[in-house]
Amino acid sequence: MFVKQLTGIERREARLHRIRAWLSRQGRSDPVGGTPQEHHHIGVSQKRFEHIGTFLRRHAGDPAIQVPSI
Q: Spell out the domain ranges in the chain.
A: 1-29
Per-residue confidence band for 12, with pLDDT thresholds at 50, 70 and 90: very high
Residues 58 and 62: their CA atoms lie apart, in Å, by 9
**Distance from C-alpha of 70 to C-alpha of 9, rounded to nearest angstrom:** 50
Does the pLDDT of residue 8 top 90, yes or no? yes
Show the CA angle centred on residue 65, arms to residues 63 and 67, nearest 5°: 90
pLDDT tens, residue by residue, 20-64: 888 888 887 666 666 666 666 666 666 677 889 999 999 999 988
Going by the DSSP 8-state scheme, the letter that residue 65 receives in this structure is G
